[in-house]
Structure 1
Amino acid sequence: MYRFHLKDAVLEDVVPFQKANGVHLFQFMHRNHINFQQFWAPIFTHTSIVMKKILEIYDGFQNRKTIVDVGGSSGLGIGMIKSKYPLIKAINFDLPQETQIAHPIPAIPDDGMVVVLEMLLPTSPEADASNKEVRNMDIVMNMFFGGAERTEKEFEALGMAAGFARMRLVCSACKFWLMEFYKN
């Protein structure tokens, strides 16, 4: 991969991995017989660590009837929530073609909320280890998927644009922050 095509991501709005290889990362893995289980193993391990800590410090799922994990992949995270709160109806949702036509806000009851668990991109210029790790993840997400980490203000603006009235930063674990978005 020619220097990862990072400048092209900025100048041409392309996904660097895709430009270098001609296909998306997952197509590349399939074409080259790369073991998906080996690829996902460290991600599952990390998810287990983060979710275990979140479930120790966050009780916001306690009185919920239904939760939907959007982009839930294998269902590991929602499965961990379900095992702690067995009466919750848990839905794992990870179908891009469905999310393009979904209407998420009307489906949420007035007393409902959206919980987001993501890294927050630091706004301070300090180069401590924590900030570096999140900034590195921002670069990785851009290189392989065309994605990006967001700041707290960007998440808040995204929530407001989606019709939510307020956002609350609740707790963090392993550099991931739990945010609650409320309709009222």
Structure 2
Amino acid sequence: MASHDQEAFLTAMQIVNSSAVDGVLICLIELNVFDIMMQKAGMDGYLHPDEIALNLPTKNPQAPEMLDRMLRILASHSIIKCKLVKKMSGNALLTRAYGLTLISQYFVNAQDGPCLAPYLKLIHHKQMQNSWEKVNEAVLEGGYAFNKAHAGSTFFEYLGKDKSVAELLSQTMAKSIPTSMNILLKSYKGFEGVKEVVDVGGAYAATLSCIISFNPHVKGINFDVPHVIKNAPSLPGITHVGGDMFESVPRGEAIVLQRVLHDWTDEESVKILKKCYEAIPDHGKVVIIEMIQTEMPEDDIIAKNISEMDIRMLLYTPGGKERTVNEFLMLGKQAGFPSSKYICGADLYGVVELYKKK
């Protein structure tokens, strides 16, 4: 064994225990603790665990102490803030009070803006977690972890059977997409000369809504499977259409694939792209918006997010993955597009355009 390094050992130990953080997060989200903190103290104030417990449906006298321990670990990771306050009763002279930060605001359930609570609930759902039990089997024997954990059903087949998982996925997309998309659309100007945009796999039209907010002249078609489309909200400038992208895609001047190809194998991605090729005019284009993997692993926060999402794809999808720019360009070529180009990247997303004509 290499020589002992205490800092390396402590880092390894923290990695082993790191699941405690997201475990606490999901518990506090389900208890609506972040919502209570927002309602009672806002972004600037603090609440003592006793005050939080008073707003929970509990008579457990240990609840404040348990909450304190759960909030304390989040404060140690700078997810929430903490300050010491004088205690008027009891044995301790000082006690802790906690407040929201720019990070923890994204775990408040009842807010109109971006929220990661549905995503955390989704990945902690029992039917998602049990894929981990089948990863090694998939590595050694082939196949896909989610399929093995669900009697052969793919993730997308399972969504049609389990409304709770399907709804969490739709909420995740609706609540998490706009933040990064709005940042991207400040740099990407590829819709300025386009009259009609089709969003393939658009769920509740979060991406299309962002596109139209930056390009109000655009007429939007939101295309997804029927069981998703039937719950999609009515939105100005957007028509919802149900169908199967492996069979056909609505015609449009530009077709958007936002976070779609990462769900599928290369072979299936080429099939999707071929259907898109058929649906655009000669001057049309396909706009791929995806997380872009680097050729070499990097340790910045965006690269880490992308690599972690890639593992989610390994867990849940039938062969999906995050790809490099060159891999997207190759998919376009295999689907028959004679010309393609990486346009730009911002925040988590990058844009690759595929053209029907050179």
Per the normalisation by structure 1, the TM-score is 0.84
Give the SS at the match of 2:194.
Answer: coil
Shift of 1:138: 0.8
SS of alignment partner, residue 90 of structure 1: strand
Q: For this pair of structures, how many residues does the alignment match? A: 183
Partner of 2:325: 152
Amino acid at match of 1:114: V
In structure 2, the residue matched to 1:134 is 306
With 16-25 and 132-141 compared, the bigger mean Cα shift is at 16-25
The alpha carbon displacement at 1:111 in A equals 1.6
Name 1:46's counterpart in structure 2.
176
1:98 is paired with a residue whose SS is coil
Does residue 106 (structure 1) correspond to residue 106 (structure 2)? The answer is no
Deviations 1:22-58 (A, max 9, x none): 3444637955x63654454343222010121122222
* Residue in 2 that maps onto 1:16: 145
Equivalent residue, structure 2, for 1:162: 335
Q: 3-state DSSP class of the match of 1:142? A: helix
1:75 counterpart residue number:
205
Does the 8 A contact of 2:292 with 2:324 survive in 1? yes
Establish whether residue 86 from structure 1 lines up as the match of residue 208 from structure 2.
no
Structure 1 residues 70, 12: CA separation in 2 closer, same or farther (over 3 Å shift)? farther
Q: Does 1:178 align with 2:358?
A: no
Higher Cα radius of gyration: 2
Indicate the structure whose relative CO is greater, using CA pairs within 8 Å and at least 6 residues apart. Answer: 1
Provide the C-alpha distance between the structure 1 equivalents of 2:304 and 2:176, rounded to a whole number of angstroms: 18
Deviates more, 1:158-167 or 1:82-91: 82-91
Structure 2 residue aligned with 1:5: 134
C-alpha distance in 2 between matches for 1:98 and 1:134: 27
Pairing partner for 1:118 from 279, 283, 290: 290
| Contact 2:184-2:347 within 8 A present in 1 as well | no
State the distance in 2 between where 1:35 and 1:159 align. Answer: 32
In structure 2, runs of 5+ residues without a counterpart are 1-129, 226-241, 249-274
**In the alignment, is the contact (CA less than 8 A) between 1:17 and 1:143 conserved in 2?**
yes
1:134–1:43 CA distance, 2 compared to 1 (3 A): same
Contact 1:169/1:180 (<8 A) preserved: yes
Deviates more, 1:109-118 or 1:2-11: 2-11
Residue ranges of structure 1 left out of the alignment (5+ in a row): none
Change beyond 3 A, Cα 1:93–1:152 = same
SS in structure 2 at match of 1:167: strand
